């Protein structure tokens, strides 16, 4: 290593690198708007070679992936070799719109407020012209609207009103929707519904301190709870590579996926075993279920349209994150070609995870109890009204558990008080209609379970034996087994969830059998929040968000096949469907024992209710990637127990038992401190016989 | 209140009460064995009246429910009015076997070791007669075996060997199964398989400290994590009634259900609103899927056969439970008519539960972030090899989340090394076959959602509109809605999980509409681990554990309909099926707008793997009972935030923001302490523009 530390090839671009790319592009192409300047991920073959031999293999180059909009609206994809820096590719796109930037979002409201057509609609709604400063809009991408196509960059302004600048605007939706031309920076149309719904006159119910205090104030009966690590944390971070409890991986971050985890390996008693080359949430869609115009346009593909990175919150110690926390910043370009940093975009910490394993022998109450720990890599992003808290949780037993918590505020539309919503939504506040919707996330899994030779994906179902009750094969009728179905081609890979068979998917390395069970080493995808796409086949959402058509698709790995709804998502028509359907092709490609990518769509269906409003208590969902037949035995027996006694020790009066209670836990209403976790209760608090 | 504090009518029997019941029974009936002396729960009508008017309504009597076995094997049910004490009922049972007691379990091994037939089978297996002290057995109830019926009390001895007294015996299963007559205290038969499988010679792999140290010792890279509540806990306990964050309920405990929660109410801004009269896990079954004889007898109904209370662990501070903990003891009779106490059978504590709600305005980064807290009522019970960690979690937003973690040790049977298990099990260690099985739990829910007038249960499905894509009703194909189907009769109530429709069940009070949404106030059962019973219709398990036939059954409330596989479970034949099928009857009884009981069977299907062995890392499952249309808005806005700033405050340079970060959280690798959670990062760590 020389005097300057080189970035890891997976590292996001540094401020200096972003600046270098911007500089060379500006020189060559003038005063363009920068929608994207991000790491062009190294080619897998090069990267795999370098990871195996970092001292000798060629170090993958640092390349910037750039997307700009030139004055006049021309959209360009570019690549910049940062060594020069030199532009190595520059191409004009036709009929594609790149990701919306935060600056584009901020612009729209000002223009909306000044538009004469909007001012007139506000007047009709009951808002006088002098109150236009109280009118707000959430400027979504238009999604897709067949009247306008995709050659002109458009946004739809979801309209709201705040009686007071601090009010929650979602209590006062307006019923019309202006369409905004981002190139001309003007309103080109307004969708006006047949039924008019004037501004609600209902007094607000806000969640800020002044409002809560006016309603009687905060509850005062919560005693503090503190989480501390007086000897520091158990994880080590070298740049962006983290090691903890046999885990090692690189923490990346991109403008659209947010957290990206690369090169996840597990140290199994000294052997570093690969698990996943790359894991991320690669896309998402939030389709709304009201068929009335223009609500079909509400199906945000928040990651491809706005970016989980771009929308990332700056996290706060003691607020978003509690305990001993490590943060990583995120760096992005600004639209104007400047630089911006989101401080503390990612937080890292560990948590006690309760009992890891326990067993007592009923004969003599010899016992072992061991507590577990988990590591959490977390970010939060705000997509206009909603918040998504994304936590990648790593357990000591080899399980990876991504969790998403939904919070923030429901999308709302206006309604006449007690209007019949026809089942498409719910009145969550007087005059406020929260439409039915789904939150569907696409987990992109590029495994290399136990090596690079190849993996195969199986569907795994729990099946009762076919043999009837009373037959010789199944006399008592209790027989059941695990049916595994190989997904041999991309066509066969299109599979759905089956609750009745407790369906899971197994990612196997068919070249490596577990020496004990003789089954191929594998990781299982155990996912129980798999609602299936409710918009029907042939619908606009089904076309644009094709990844959501099935719970699982599997493709053969190819560089740059990252985003399953396509590279440039705003205003795609879905004809043809971009991304995943192109990679699936005619379905005949073999995906057996090769480098595969598993795309899993999961999430939940939301029928709103008043308890979700005006801000929603967090609703969590998670799934597991868990090792099965991967280890030759329990991989956490060497985690220090809190207490362990054997039969011979119990027989000798508990002489020699291992007693390592934390010494900090205490009785809630007693004065004694923890002391020996078991001595204070008798030997394991053994049953007292009277 | 007099000078002596009377027990709450829901309280478990005290030691003095148990003693009084035992004393009067011994006087009347001599030297019987006591299987059960427990609270006979007060009749609901009396209890409801007393809860409404404790100063004036008659106080329900304290009655003991008693089950004894007389010398000679006669089984008697009895009731004792503890005021006398007086026996008010005494009845001889015919062909019923009561719950197995811990003492009965302890007896069998000694007798097995001395039986000549067993000694001979051990010799055949490779164990010399002088090593019989190394032979162990887990003495399950026989379950049901049609050769023997149920008039004689029987157990089946699952056989194991320990080369050393501290070894994990499950590594050395023996292939034969002695049948034990509990009345005669002798072996009456031995099931010997056609294929003999001698004792494995594989060296053991144990999980106790000596074994771990011999393998290289414990990992030393875990830094401690401390959880403290320096100002005490937020919950208050008055006897066995707990109040916390608007919740109030009584914590009971029974020999068979373990934790029983009564009279769960929620204080909604000063109005105490009833939710659940009673909640518990009322039964369970763990069916094994190997059709070969005698494995069909392995389907333990652990609660009815052994008791989640009887098998409860004595919990240890800092080991099982971390933080500030309150404990409750459990008192039981001994078989001989003595008394025993399990100290610390139940633990109670609160935990930080992460972000409760958050919202940021993208325009100016005004933000509110509020952290949540949860209350946990927990017990652990050991069913021979397995451990079940049962945690009843209460969230501030009105959600109840029962969670079960499975740990302990797989049930194992012997196999020849690398023998073909035919898919009925997996070799998890050389010579060790862990059979496929399910863990199915029956949640008994007696709701009184928002009052006693009556509740109705609905099935709730997420459905796409029938109208085709392109039709006027569904032009863009996105329409979907919530289809609710009333369960009007016990017959209609037999419903199953549907993953494709994200099925949930709603417990509504049809007499109370939410004033905002106009929908009936309700609690939703959101349960995603619902595998369905794999033993087929007509199978032995299907007959004996009828509650598991469907995900949900609903019955009309009747006193004493508590245990869905029947009152006395060991050795029931299932012909007829006891318990729930009797209460469902011909299916015509109305369950609409009345006092109902919802029985929900949930759990998971387990295909073992080597990582589960020799002791299993905890595998969690949980479900939610969550309020929907119950509240008129978010019920937790008055939980103090960690940080709150409004647009006007941000515009004024963050003057007046609410900053209440815990001041204890710190950077993992920094020296600064928490301080203001946001000041240290800039105003909410706002994006720095360069």
Q: Nearest residue of B to residue A464 by CA position? A: B534
Phi, psi of A386 (to 5 degrees): -95, 150
Helix or strand or coil: residue B131? helix
Which of the residues of B are catalytic?
302, 386
Beta bridge partners of A597: A555
CB contact under 8 A, B685 and A344: yes
Q: Which of B226, B423, B681 sits opposite A228 (nearest CB)?
A: B226
Instruction: Output the CA angle B491-B493-B499, nearest 5 degrees.
Output: 135
Cβ separation of A611 and B631 shorter than 8 Å? yes
B298 pLDDT higher than 60: yes
Nearest to B359 among A372, A409, A669 (CB): A409
Separation in Å, CA of A626 to nearest CA in chain B: 10
Chain B: nearest CA to A608, how far in angstroms?
A: 8
Taking residue A226's Cβ as centre, other Cβ atoms within 10 Å add up to 18
| Contact state of B690 with A341 under an 8 Å Cβ cutoff | yes
Estimate the share of chain A in helix, then strand, then coil, as percent rounded to the nearest 5. Answer: 15, 40, 45
Residues of chain A neighbouring B219 (CB-CB closer than 8 A): 245, 638-640
CB–CB of B316 and A643 under 8 A?
Answer: yes
Distance from CA of B480 to the nearest CA of A (A): 5
Residues of A in contact with B496 (CB under 8 A): 500
- Expressed in angstroms, the distance from the first to the final Cα of chain A is 71
Q: From the first residue on, what is the mean pLDDT of each consecutive set of 10 residues in chain A (690 residues)? A: 77 98 98 97 98 97 97 94 97 95 92 98 98 97 92 95 97 98 94 96 96 97 97 97 98 98 98 98 98 96 98 96 97 97 98 98 96 98 98 98 98 92 96 98 98 96 97 96 98 97 98 97 98 96 98 98 98 96 97 98 98 98 98 98 98 96 93 42 35
User: How far away is chain B from the Cα of A486, in angstroms, using its nearest Cα?
Assistant: 16
Which of B398, B405, B481 minimises the CB distance to A289?
Answer: B481
Nearest to A490 by CA among A411, A569, A397, A588: A588
- Residues of chain A positioned with their CB less than 8 A from the CB of B436: 480-482
Residue B384's φ and ψ, nearest 5 degrees, are 60, -95
* Bridge partners of residue B285, in order along the sequence: B440
Q: What's the pTM?
A: 0.97
Residue B270 has a CB neighbour count (10 Å cut-off) of 6
Question: Which residues on A lie below 8 Å from B634 (Cβ)?
Answer: 207, 611-617
Among partner residues B321, B362, B534, which is closest to A480 by beta-carbon distance?
A: B534
Position B688 scores a pLDDT of: 34
Question: Looking at beta carbons, which residues of chain A come within 8 Å of B680?
Answer: 317
Name the band, by pLDDT with cuts 50, 70 and 90, for residue B674.
Answer: very low
Average pLDDT estimate for B151-175:
96
Query: Nearest C-alpha of chain B: how many angstroms from A451?
Result: 19
Angle between helices B102-114 and B116-125 (to 10 degrees): 70
Angle, in degrees to the nearest 10, between helices A116-125 and A102-114: 70
To probe the interface with A, which of B285, B499, B521, B651 has the most A CB atoms within 10 Å? B499
Which residue, chain included where needed, has tokens 């309020």?
A: B627
- The CA distance from B56 to B141, in Å, is 47
A contact test, residue of B167, B324, B530, B609 with most A CBs within 10 A: B609
Pair A81, A88: CB distance under 8 Å: yes
Token pair listed for A258: 């947010």
Give every CB contact of residue A269 below 8 A, 6+ residues apart in sequence: none
Say yes or no for a CB contact (<8 Å) between B647 and A389.
Answer: no
Q: Alpha helix (H) ranges present in A459-614? A: 540-544, 580-584
The pLDDT of residue B657 is 96
The tokens describing B391, both together, are 């945690």
Greater confidence (A228 vs B4) lies with: A228
Which residue of chain B is at minimal alpha-carbon distance from A687? Answer: B342
Nearest to A230 among B212, B224, B356 (CB): B224
* Chain A residue whose CA is closest to B473: A291
Residues of B in contact with A171 (CB under 8 A): none
Residue in A387, A473, A642 nearest the CB of B318: A642
Of B542, B633, B646, the CB nearest to A611: B633
Separation of alpha carbons A320 and B359, rounded Å: 11
Binary contact (A427, B215; C-beta < 8 A) = no
Band of the pLDDT at B677, cuts 50, 70, 90?
A: very low
Q: Output the 3-class SS for B201-260.
A: CCCCCCCCHHHHHHCCCCCCCCCCCEEECCCCCCCEEECCEEEECCEEEEEEEECCCEEE
Q: How far apart are CA A107 and CA A128, in angstroms?
A: 22
Check A115, A302, A450, A595 and give the catalytic one. Answer: A302
B598 conformational bin, left if phi > 0, alpha if psi -120 to 50, beta if neither: beta
Q: Specify the pLDDT at position A687.
A: 39
Shortest Cα distance from A160 to chain B (angstroms)? 13
What secondary structure does DSSP assign to B276-308, as a single string? EEEEEEEEEEEEB---STTGGG-EE-HHHHT-T
Cβ contacts of residue B639 below 8 Å, gap of 6+?
A218, A219, A222, B356, B370, B372, B373, B396
Distance (Å) from the alpha carbon of A120 to chain B's nearest alpha carbon: 25
The catalytic residue among A386, A413, A458, A523 is A386
Contact call for residues B432 and B170 (beta carbons, < 8 A): yes
User: Chain A to chain B, count of Cβ pairs less than 8 Å apart?
Assistant: 675
Which residues in A lie closer than 8 A to residue B537 (C-beta atoms)? 469, 477
A678–B319 CB contact, under 8 Å: yes
CA dist B289 to B424, B584, B602, Å? 6, 28, 17
DSSP class of A51: H
Q: Do A687 and B519 touch (CB under 8 A)?
A: no
Nearest to A212 among B293, B534, B637 (CB): B637
pLDDT digits (tens, 9 = 90+) for B397-414: 999 999 999 999 999 999
Give which of A144, A318, A378, A646 to mutate to test B binding, by max B Cβ within 10 Å. A318
pLDDT in tens, B550-568: 999 999 999 999 999 999 9
From B352, B612, B674, residue closest to A225, measured CB to CB:
B352
Q: Distance between CA B583 and CA B576 in Å, rounded?
A: 12
pLDDT (tens digit, 9 = 90+) per residue, B237-276? 999 999 999 999 999 999 999 999 999 999 999 999 999 9
Q: Which chain B positions have a beta carbon within 8 Å of A607's beta carbon?
A: 462, 482, 628
Interface contact flag, B407 A357, Cβ < 8 Å: yes
Contact B635 A611 (CB under 8 A): yes
Tokens of B582: 């009797």
CB–CB of A331/B679 below 8 Å? no
Q: A668–B542: do the CB atoms touch at under 8 Å?
A: no
Q: Which residues contact B649 (CB under 8 A, 6 or more apart)?
A: B366, B655, B656, B657
pLDDT at residue A4, as a whole number: 65
Distance from CA of B682 to the nearest CA of A (A): 9
For B108-135, write each residue's pLDDT tens digit. Answer: 999 999 999 999 999 999 999 999 999 9
CA distances from A578 to A281, A304, A540, B57 (A): 17, 12, 13, 71
Look-up of token digits 């996330």: A441
Would you call A628 and B609 a contact, using CB atoms and an 8 Å cutoff?
Answer: yes
Count of Cβ atoms closer than 10 Å to residue A34 Cβ: 24
CA distance A181 to A193: 21
Q: In degrees, to the nearest 5, what angle opens at C-alpha B177 toward C-alphas B171 and B179?
A: 140
- How far apart CA A482 and CA B445 sit, in angstroms, is 32
Could you tell me the maximum CA-CA distance found in chain B, to the nearest angstrom? 90
Rounded to 5 degrees, φ, ψ at A509 are -105, 100
User: How distant is the Cα of A191 from the closest Cα of chain B, in angstroms?
Assistant: 16
Structure tokens at B575: 């012909």
Mutate to test the interface with B, among A101, A294, A435, A478 (most CBs of B within 10 A): A478
Residues of B whose CB is below 8 A from A635: 611, 617
């Amino acid at each position: 290593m020389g005097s300057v530390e080189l970035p890891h090839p997976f590292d996001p671009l540094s401020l200096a690198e972003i600046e270098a790319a911007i500089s060379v592009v500006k020189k060559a192409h003038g005063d363009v708007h920068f929608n994207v300047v991000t790491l062009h991920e190294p080619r897998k073959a090069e990267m795999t070679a370098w990871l195996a031999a970092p001292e000798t293999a060629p170090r993958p180059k640092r390349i910037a992936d750039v997307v700009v909009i030139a004055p006049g609206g021309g959209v360009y994809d570019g690549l910049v070799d940062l060594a020069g820096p030199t532009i190595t590719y520059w191409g004009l796109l036709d009929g594609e719109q790149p990701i919306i930037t935060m600056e584009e979002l901020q612009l729209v409201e000002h223009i909306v407020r000044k538009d004469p057509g909007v001012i007139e609609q506000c007047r009709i709604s009951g808002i006088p012209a002098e109150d236009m400063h109280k009118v707000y809009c959430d400027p979504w991408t238009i999604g897709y609207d067949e009247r306008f196509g995709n050659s002109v960059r458009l946004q739809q302004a979801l309209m709201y009103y705040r009686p007071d600048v601090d009010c929650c605007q979602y209590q006062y939706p307006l019923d019309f929707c202006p369409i905004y031309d981002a190139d001309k920076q003007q309103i080109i149309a307004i969708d006006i519904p047949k039924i008019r719904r004037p501004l609600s006159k209902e007094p607000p119910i806000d969640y800020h301190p002044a409002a809560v205090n006016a309603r009687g104030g905060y509850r005062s009966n919560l005693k503090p709870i503190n989480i501390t690590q007086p000897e520091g944390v158990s994880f080590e971070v070298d740049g962006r590579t983290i090691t903890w409890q046999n885990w090692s991986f690189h923490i990346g971050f991109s403008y659209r996926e947010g957290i990206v985890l690369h090169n996840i390996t597990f140290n199994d008693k000294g052997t570093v075993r690969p698990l996943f080359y790359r894991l991320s949430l690669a896309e998402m869609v939030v389709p709304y279920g009201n068929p009335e115009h223009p609500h079909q346009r509400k199906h945000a593909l928040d990651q491809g349209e706005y970016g989980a990175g771009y929308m990332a919150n700056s996290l706060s110690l003691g607020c978003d994150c509690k305990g001993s926390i490590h943060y990583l910043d995120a760096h992005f370009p600004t639209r104007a070609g400047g630089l911006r940093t989101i401080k503390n975009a990612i937080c890292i910490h560990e948590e006690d995870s309760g009992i890891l394993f326990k067993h007592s022998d009923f004969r003599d109450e010899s016992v072992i109890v061991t507590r577990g720990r988990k590591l959490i890599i977390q970010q939060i992003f705000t997509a206009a009204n909603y918040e998504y808290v994304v936590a990648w949780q790593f357990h000591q037993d080899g399980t990876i558990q991504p969790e998403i918590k939904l919070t923030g505020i429901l999308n709302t539309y206006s309604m006449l008080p007690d209007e019949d919503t026809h089942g498409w939504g719910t009145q969550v506040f007087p005059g406020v209609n929260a439409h039915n919707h789904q939150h569907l996330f696409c987990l992109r899994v590029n495994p290399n379970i136990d090596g690079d030779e190849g993996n195969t994906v199986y569907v795994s179902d729990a099946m009762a034996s076919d043999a009837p009750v009373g037959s010789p094969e199944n006399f008592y009728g209790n027989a059941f087994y695990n049916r595994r179905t190989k997904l041999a081609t991309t066509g066969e890979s299109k599979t759905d969830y089956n609750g009745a068979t407790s369906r899971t998917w197994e990612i196997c390395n068919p070249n490596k059998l577990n020496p004990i069970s003789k089954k191929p080493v594998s990781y299982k995808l155990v996912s129980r929040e798999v609602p299936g796409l409710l918009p029907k086949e042939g619908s606009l959402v089904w076309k644009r968000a094709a990844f959501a058509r099935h719970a699982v698709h599997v493709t053969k790995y190819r560089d740059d096949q990252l985003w399953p709804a396509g590279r440039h998502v705003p205003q795609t028509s879905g004809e043809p469907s971009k991304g995943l359907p192109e990679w699936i092709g005619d379905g005949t490609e073999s995906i057996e024992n090769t480098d595969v990518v598993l795309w899993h769509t999961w999430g939940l269906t939301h029928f709103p209710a008043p308890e979700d409003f005006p801000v929603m208590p967090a609703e969590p969902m998670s799934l597991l990637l868990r090792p099965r037949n991967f280890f030759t035995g329990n991989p956490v027996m060497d985690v220090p127990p809190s207490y362990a006694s054997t039969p011979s020790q119990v027989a000798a009066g508990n002489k020699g038992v291992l007693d390592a209670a934390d010494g900090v836990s205490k009785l809630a209403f007693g004065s004694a401190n923890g002391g020996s976790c078991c001595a204070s209760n008798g030997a394991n608090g053994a049953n007292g016989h009277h």
